[in-house]
Chains A and B, each alone.
Chain A
Amino acid sequence: GDSVTQMEGPVTLSEEAFLTINCTYTATGYPSLFWYVQYPGEGLQLLLKATKADDKGSNKGFEATYRKETTSFHLEKGSVQVSDSAVYFCALSVRSNAGGTSYGKLTFGQGTILTVHP
């Protein structure tokens, strides 16, 4: 079946530190990959996405590259801020073929709690 594995947390960093959150996946079809973020007291929000191999998703200074050869989609940010403190989820949804349509449902990793201190 489809699955997503994230690095174990929590992760605690000082402001302006470099962030990496590892994410690897297994998928039966052609996955689209996502990072979702959940800020304290708020709902899940899409942070970035990549729909095919070698695509790079980016938003708010965060980046992730879809690496088919290593089945990975690691999240990175060069300089974190206190406001980045949140829970980050890696997720995938699978298409049945390369040009096909999505089943829609998201399979999530366990989530990584990030705390950034001033």
Chain B
Amino acid sequence: GAGVSQSPSNKVTEKGKDVELRCDPISGHTALYWYRQSLGQGLEFLIYFQGNSAPDKSGLPSDRFSAERTGGSVSTLTIQRTQQEDSAVYLCASSLVWRSSYNEQFFGPGTRLTVL
């Protein structure tokens, strides 16, 4: 079976533009997570979904960041009016269940975002 896929793999944009990052989780995985990996901040949690709802959005750094998930599958992370500090690798992960004593998260390869 296919793993978690993300697109695009690389995105270069100009400051102030909007970008959309896509994540395709492993089929059947009900939980989906977004993380950000940057030099200054390491790996940070952004948001997770259980089905189409997002019980925890606490990691989104500002209101320029939003995410949605449709059909319990594909998720899109949108960054509006991008800033240079948004440059990072955005990672998506999925897991079979959310509420579990242990739920292995499977990570995608990431989208490297560069804001000029």
Which of B14-22, B62-70, B93-101 is near enough to bind chain A? Answer: B93-101
Q: How far is the CA of A111 from the CA of B95 in the complex (A)?
A: 22
Of the candidates B56, B59, B102, B107, the one whose C-beta lies within 8 Å of that of A44 is B107
Given contacts A102-B101, A104-B103, 14 further A-B pairs with CB under 8 A are: A32-B102, A43-B91, A43-B108, A46-B104, A101-B101, A102-B100, A102-B102, A104-B33, A104-B48, A104-B95, A105-B59, A108-B35, A108-B43, A111-B43
Residues 38-75 of chain A: 1 if any B CB is under 8 Å from the residue's CB, otherwise 0?
00001111100101000000000000000000000000
Q: How many chain B residues touch the partner (CB < 8 A)?
A: 27
Top 10 nearest A-B pairs (CB, nearest first) are A108-B43, A101-B99, A44-B107, A105-B45, A43-B107, A110-B42, A43-B109, A104-B98, A51-B102, A46-B104
Q: Interface code B23-63, partner A: CB below 8 Å = 1, 0 otherwise?
A: 00000000101010000001111001000000010010000
What is the minimal beta-carbon distance from A24 to any residue of chain B, in angstroms?
A: 15
Candidate in A91, A100, A106, A111 with the most chain B CB atoms within 10 angstroms? A106
B residues near A101, Cβ cutoff 8 Å: 99-101
Residues of A within 8 A of B59 (CB): 105
Give B residues with C-beta under 8 Å from A. Answer: 3-4, 31, 33, 35, 42-45, 48, 56, 59, 91, 93, 95, 98-105, 107-110
